[in-house]
Amino acid sequence: MSNIIDQLEKKRKEAREGGGKKRVAAQHARGKLTARERIDTLLDENSFEEYDMYVEHRTNDFGMGKKKYAGDSVVTGSGKINGKLVYVFSQDFTVFGGSLSEAHAEKICKIMDMALKVGAPVIGINDSGGARIQEGVASLAGYGDVFQKNVLASGVIPQISVIMGPCAGGAVYSPAMTDFIFMVKDTSFMFVTGPDVVKTVTQENVTQEELGGAKTHTSKSSVADGAFANDIETLFEVKKLIDLLPSNNREKSLKKKTEYQNLNPDYSLDTLVPDNPNKPYDMLELITKVIDNRDFFQVQENFAKNMIVGFGRVEGRTVGFVANQPLVLAGCLDIDASKKAARFVRFCDCFNIPLVTFVDVPGFLPGVSQEHNGIIKNGAKLLYAYAEATVPKITIITRKAYGGAYVVMASKHLRGDINYAWPTAEIAVMGAKGAVEILYRNQIKNEKDAETKTDEYTKQFANPFIASSRGFIDDVIKPQNTRRRIATALDNLENKELSSPYKKHDNIPL
C-alpha cells in the first residue's frame, strides 16, 4: 500500500509542477502568477478540491506523444470564496502555452456541468495561446463545446472571466458570453486577430496593447468590465464581486449580516442638486451616501461615463444601481450608455437583484453620428431591458427627466414598482427654453418675452407635481430621507411576484 501511495504522491507532485521550474520562473518574470497560485489567491485557504489532475492529451501527431503533462494545461475544480461554493478553471501557460486541447476543453466542460447541477458560479482564469495547432479540428471542437456550455449556463449561474495573459482567436468568444470580464493591465490581451495579421490584411501598425489591451477593452470596446494593476488585485476584485452575487437564478438577492450605518436623514443630500439647472453635480456622491458603508462596486467605470452602473448593499441586501451622471454629457443617454445599462439591468433581472435607478437625464444625445450608428435601436435596448425586468424596481428622479429618456429610465410606465422624485425634479417633454420656442414661436417678439414665457413654463411644468397628480410618481420625497425610503421600499418588495406571457425567449433589439 505504501508503494502505491508513494506513486500517487509522485504523480501529484509532477502535476503541481506544471511545465517545470524553468517555465514557472519565466511566468513569474512576466509579473504573472502560475495557474495554481491564482487559484490559491482566489479561494479560501484549503478549500480547493481539484478534479482531473491526471488527464493528459490524446494526440501523437508532431511528436506530441512524447510530450505529456498531468492535467494538460488547465487546472480545474471547486472551492469556496468567503464560504460560498464556486467552480473554477485556470489555464496553465507553463504547459504548451496554455493552449486548448480536446482534453483541456473536456475538463472545463465537466466543471461547468457540475456548477449547473448544483447552482454555483463559474470563474474562468484565461491565460492561453489559443487552440492547440497540433490537434487541428479536435481543439476547435473543444472550443465549440465550451461555447455551448456558456450559453446553457447564461442566466442560470453567474459566469466570470478573468483574462490574465493572452486570449486570442476563437478563445475570446467564451469570455465574451460570460457575465463579467476582468483584465490585468499590461499583461493581458484579447483580440480576434493579432497585430501581425492586422498589418498584413489592413496595413495598420498597432501594438498588442493598443489592439486588445486592458485600457482598450475597458474604455473603448466595452468588452471588459474592469482592469487592475496585477494578478492579485484582480483576483481580490473577483472575490468582492462573488461576495455580492447570488449563486444562481433560484436564489434571492443576498442579504448579508454585516455592520452598516443607520437610516437617519443625511442632510447633505438636500444641497446636492445645484440651484442652477445647468450646473452639474456628481451622482456618485448620492449613490455612495445611500448604500451601506459607502462601498460601491462599479462596473465598466471607464466606459460611457455618462452612465453609472454597479452593485452596493442597502441594509445588507445586494442592489444593482443605474444612474445618469450629470458630470459627463450632462447625463444624456447615448448609444454606449444605453448598451452599458441595458446589459447590467438584464444581469440583475436574471439573478433576482433589485434595481435602484437615479434619474437626471435631459434626453437622448442628438447628432448625425448617433443617428447613423443606431441610437434608435440601441436606446431601445435599455427600454426593453427595463420593461422586461421583473425584479423590484425603485426609481428616484433627482432633477431632469425629459422626453423619451424619462420613459426609458425605469419609469412607472415600464412596470416600475416605486417611483419617487425629489422636489428639484423636472418631468416634462423637454426643457423650458426649447418648449417655449416651439409653443410661443409666433408670440415672442423680444428676449424679454422669451424670458417671461420660460419662467411661466418652468413654474407650471418643471416640477414633479403634475406627474404626481397622475400617479406616475408615488411620492415627492426629501433628499435627506432617500436611503430610508429605498430601504423601506426594498423590504416591502421582497416577496414581489410578476410574470410575463409565455414565450420561448424574447427578441431584444440587438
Three-state secondary structure readout of 99-115: CECHHHHHHHHHHHHHH
What is the separation of C-alpha 21 from the centre of its chain, rounded to a whole number of angstroms? 37
Long-range CB contacts (within 8 A, 24+) of 493-498? 493/354, 493/392, 493/394, 493/417, 493/418, 494/252, 494/392, 496/390, 496/391, 496/392, 496/417, 498/390, 498/415
Three-state secondary structure readout of 43-62: CCCCCCEEECCCCCCCCCHH
Residue 432 has which C-alpha cell? 423650458
- Mind telling me the catalytic residues? 169-170, 404-405
Three-state secondary structure readout of 375-415: HHHHHHHHHHHHHHCCCCEEEEEEEEEEHHHHHHCCCHHHC
What is the separation of C-alpha 341 from the centre of its chain, rounded to a whole number of angstroms? 9
DSSP, collapsed to helix, strand or coil, labels residue 297 as strand
User: Can you say whether residue 97 is alpha, beta or left, with left for phi > 0 and alpha for psi between -120 and 50 degrees?
Assistant: left
